[in-house]
Amino acid sequence: MTIAVETHFNRQLKVFVHRPKTITEMLARTAANYPDKEALVSAEERITYREFAARVERIAGNLYSIYGIRKGDRVAVLVGNRIEFALLIFACARIGAIAVILNTRLKEEELSYMLNHSRASLLLFDDGCLEKIEKLRDNMDISTVHHFFLIGNATSVKGGCSLFEILLQPATAPVEDINENDPLFIMYTSGTTGVPKGAIGSHLGVIHGAISYENALETNHSTKTLIAVPLFHVTGLVGQLLHMVQVGGTSVLMEKYKTDKYIRLLAEENITFLFNVPTIYVMVMSHPDFMKHTYHAVRTLAFGGAPMSMDTISDLKRVFPGAELHNAYGATETSSPTTIMPRHAPEDKLHSVGMPVPVAEIKVVDENEQECTHGQVGQLLIKGPMVIEGYWDNEEANRRSFVDGFWRSGDIALIDKDGFVYIMDRMKDMINRGGEKVFSVEVENVLYNHPGILEAAVVGVPDKLYGETVKAFVVPKEGVLVEEEEVKRFARERIAEYKVPATIEFISELPRNPGGKIMKSRLKEVNIC
C-alpha cells in the first residue's frame, strides 16, 4: 500500500499510488480477472462481471448515440436497490456523464428542486416512483428534463416515457477522455438554510474510498455483501457496491428492507460482509427467525451513520463470534470513509469511530480555527483525495465549507493520544435517524408554512431503535386548534417520511436566550425529564 503526495483540486493530497483512474477502469479490470464471478444478485436475476460490463457498455452506447448524452451532462437516477442502479452509475461514468443520484423517499417538491438545480436532461426512475414522477410531470416545472425512462412494471405508464429496455439494445460507446478528477455524481445533502447542497463526487474520491475499505477490512474476491442500506447513500454506493467491484466481490441487493427476508438472505447466500446502520442490526437480532439459522460465513461487521450502543455491540459479538466489528465514520462529502476501526482494536476504544484511513488528514479546531491538542473538543476538519471538490453551483457553500484544503465537517469531535477519533455531537442541529440525516431547519421551514402554527423548533431525541427520532415543539397561533396527526399529515405531504416529526409537543412559547435565539438544548432537557 504505497502512498504518495499529488496535487488534485489545487490541494496537496496523500493518495494511493496503485489505483484505477476511473470506475470504468475498475470494472474493466475486475471483469477481466473474474469474468464468470457473480457480480450482482437481485430477487429477479444474477449477473456475472462479464455480463455487468457488457450491459454497461450497451447502456452507455445508447445514451450517447441515441439520446445525445455527452461528458458533463447530468443524468438523474431515481432508482432503489436494483441491478439497474449499478448499471446506470457505471454507464454514466463510461461516457463521462454525471449521475444525479436521488433519494427515492423524497417528495415531488424536493425532487423538482434537485432536478432543476442540477439541470438534469434525462431521468431514469423505477416503478416504485412512478406515481410521484407523474405528479411531478403534471404539476411542476422540470423543463430541463427531456427524456424519461421507466424501470420495471410499465402497465400504467403515461405517454412521453420510454422503457429502460431500449437502452439495452446492442451499442458501443466511443472512448472518452475522462480524468480521475472529473465529476462522477451529484448527491444532495441538507443545506444550512434548508436548501439541499449538491455534493460533487469524483472518480478519485470513490476509488480511494473503496480502496480504504479494502485495506482496512481485508476484503477480496471471495467477499459477499448484502446491501440493505440505500444505494443512493454513500455507505451503500461506496462502502458496499463500489467496494465489491474494486475487490471482485459479490453484491446481493435488497430492493426493500424486510427483516425476515434479510435474515433469510444472510443465511442462504452465505454472506461474509455486512455494513449497516445500527438500527438494522437491532431489528435483525430481535426477530424471532434470527436464531433459526447459523451465520458461520460472516467475517466482517461494519456499522456507521448513527451511534451504536454497547449492548448492541456485545450482542453482535455473541451471535457472530467469528466476525470482526468495525465502526466507520464519514459523510457524503468524504465519499464515505474518513475513519475506520482497525482490526483487533482495544476494548476501551469501542466508543470511538476508529482511526483515520491512511490517505486522510484530519484535525480538530476550536471556534477560532486553532488546532486543538489531543483530548480537546472542537470541530472536525477533513482533508484527502476522498473529499469532494465542492458543491454544484453553490459558491457560498464552497466558501463556507472549505478552508486550506480541509472540509469543515460540522461535527464536534476529539482525537485521543493514540489517534482514535470520537464524535461527540453534531453542529447545526443535525438529527440522525437510523442513518438518515435530517436537518432541523428544513423541517421547521415546512412547519412554519402550516396555517395554524406560529412558531416551531425541531430537535433530535434519543430512541432505542433509531438512535434519534425527530421531535417538534410547536406554538399554535392564538385561538387556533392544531392537532398532532394533522400537523404530521401536513409535513408528510411535503417532505420525506423519515423527516416527519415522530412526536409533536404543543407549548405556549419557545425558550430563548437573552439574544432571542431559541435554546434547543433546553428543549432536549424537557424531553429527558
CB 339 within 8 A of CB 364: no
Give the mean model confidence (pLDDT) for residues 28-42.
98
What size, in residues, is the chain? Answer: 529
User: 48-106 pLDDT, tens per residue?
Assistant: 999 999 999 999 999 999 999 999 999 999 999 999 999 999 999 999 999 999 999 99
Per-residue pLDDT of 240-276, as tens digits, reads 999 999 999 999 999 999 999 999 999 999 999 999 9
Confidence at residue 24, expressed as pLDDT on a 0 to 100 scale: 98
Judge whether 43 and 227 are in contact, CB under 8 Å: no
For the segment 470-483, what is each residue's pLDDT rounded down to a tens digit?
A: 999 999 988 889 99
Model confidence band, residue 428 (pLDDT cutoffs 50, 70, 90): low
Model confidence at 439, in pLDDT bands (50, 70, 90)?
confident
Residue 247 near residue 271, CB atoms below 8 Å:
no
Measured distance CA(497)–CA(492) in Å, rounded:
6
Work out the average pLDDT over 175-185.
96
Angle, CA of 508, 511 and 517, to the nearest 5°: 130
Per-residue pLDDT for 342 more than 80? yes
CATH number of this structure's domain 435-528, picked from the four choices 3.40.50.150, 1.20.1250.20, 3.30.300.30, 3.10.20.340: 3.30.300.30
Of the candidate ranges 55-64, 323-332, 453-462, 500-509, the one whose mean pLDDT is the lowest: 453-462
Q: Give the distance, in angstroms, between the CA of residue 261 and the centroid of all CA atoms in the same chain.
A: 22
- Is it the case that residue 386 has pLDDT exceeding 50? yes
Domain ranges of the chain: 49-178, 435-528
Residue 253 host element (H or E)? strand 250-253
Residue 462's Cβ-side half-sphere holds a number of Cα atoms within 13 Å equal to 11
- CB burial of residue 153 (10 Å; 0-12, 13-18, 19+): exposed
Res 192 pLDDT > 60: no
DSSP state of 291: G
On the question of pLDDT at 518 being above 80, the answer is no
Q: What is the DSSP string of 265-290?
A: HHHHTT--EEEE-HHHHHHHHHSTTG
Contact call for residues 224 and 268 (beta carbons, < 8 A): no
Is residue 522 classed exposed, middle or buried when 0-12, 13-18 and 19+ CB atoms within 10 A define those classes?
Answer: middle
Give the mean model confidence (pLDDT) for residues 440-458: 85
Cα–Cα dist 167/15, whole Å: 36
User: Helices (DSSP H) in 66-124: which residue ranges?
Assistant: 83-95, 108-118
C-alpha cell at position 382: 477533513
Question: For the segment 277-324, what is each residue's pLDDT rounded down to a tens digit?
Answer: 887 898 899 899 999 998 999 999 999 876 676 778 888 999 999 899
Whether pLDDT at 441 is above 90? no
How much of the chain, in percent, has pLDDT values that exceed 70?
Answer: 95
How is residue 448 written as a grid cell?
412554519
Average pLDDT, the chain: 92
Confidence of residue 337 (pLDDT cuts 50, 70, 90): very high
Give the pLDDT mean for 165-184: 96
Q: What integer pLDDT is reported at residue 231 of this predicted model?
A: 96
SS (H, E, C) 360-389: CEEEEECCCCCECCCCCCEEEEEECCCCCC
Q: What is the structure's pLDDT at 307?
A: 61
Return all residues near 242 (Cβ < 8 A) that are at least 6 apart.
Answer: 23, 26, 206, 207, 209, 210
On the CB side of 196, how many CA atoms lie within 13 Å of its CA? Answer: 24
The single residue listed with the C-alpha cell 471471495 is: 222
C-alpha to C-alpha distance for 413 and 200, rounded to whole angstroms: 25
Q: Is the pLDDT of residue 516 over 60?
A: no
pLDDT for 528 equals 45
- Range with the lowest mean pLDDT among 99-103, 190-194, 428-432, 503-507? 190-194
Please tell me which residue, 503 or 442, carries the higher pLDDT value: 503
Calculate the dihedral angle through the C-alpha atoms of 246, 203, 359, 304, rounding to the nearest 10 degrees.
-70
Which CATH number applies to 49-178? 3.40.50.980
